[in-house]
Amino acid sequence: MTFWLILSGMVAVTFGSRYAGLALRVDLPDFWVRFLHFVPIAVFSSLVAPALEGNRSEWGIRVTAAAIAAVAAWRTRQLWVAIAVGMAVFWLLRIPF
| Interface with other proteins, residue 57, by CB under 8 A | no
Q: Give the span between the Cα atoms of 42 and 30, in whole angstroms.
A: 18
Q: Give the span between the Cα atoms of 83 and 69, in whole angstroms.
A: 7
Q: Give the span between the Cα atoms of 45 and 39, in whole angstroms.
A: 10
| Interface with other proteins, residue 92, by CB under 8 A | no
| Count of residues near other proteins by CB under 8 A | 68
| Interface with other proteins, residue 21, by CB under 8 A | yes
Shortest distance (Å) from residue 60 CB to other proteins = 13
Note the helical H segments in 1-97.
2-23, 30-48, 59-76, 79-94
Binding site for other proteins (CB under 8 A): 2-3, 5-7, 9-15, 17-25, 28, 30-56, 62, 65-66, 69-70, 72-74, 77-80, 82-83, 86-87, 90-91, 94
